[in-house]
A and B are shown apart, each in its own frame.
Chain A
Amino acid sequence: AQSVTQPDIHITVSEGASLELRCNYSYGATPYLFWYVQSPGQGLQLLLKYFSGDTLVQGIKGFEAEFKRSQSSFNLRKPSVHWSDAAEYFCAVGPLQGAQKLVFGQGTRLTINP
């Protein structure tokens, strides 16, 4: 069965500190991986995606993620967080072949301390 696990429901970091949000997936085929961010009351914005190639992918807003096939992980990182990064972050997995649904993790809520 396809599933995505985000082990941390809520993370609090200080502004300027580094951040790592964990994501583990279970997928029967080669996955297509995504990270989305959702600010309160807003829709989902794509941060980055991994399709193939270099396993370290760069996204918007200074985020990056690393795909590790051996660990079935796709962790999101940022070297220095800003107060505006406070939001909910969702990891998702989909198929390489198109026209199939995304499966989402439960999300990680990020709080930034000033």
Chain B
Amino acid sequence: SAVISQKPSRDICQRGTSLTIQCQVDSQVTMMFWYRQQPGQSLTLIATANQGSEATYESGFVIDKFPISRPNLTFSTLTVSNMSPEDSSIYLCSALGTGYNEQFFGPGTRLTVL
């Protein structure tokens, strides 16, 4: 299994600003993902972070709002841009394991936008 860390673990930000969340995996993985979990809700996939190419975004999520980088096979960043209170959520990074489609998750970044 992969061990995934995220930074920061939490942050409180002002509206209109941007926050970049980092995700580090302890081994090379083929696929990495970013999810959002709004308060009291389930997880929603934001995008698949592709190494060496643009991320693949799910319906309702756009690159201008959630730019993603993946410079190598162990690291990815998600930026939440021009934040509003509606962006207050937990943001989780995950990576696809070598097993049958199971994903391993980071501890999440709890974001509060004032």
Q: Are A and B subunits of one complex? A: no
Residues of A within 8 A of B (CB): none
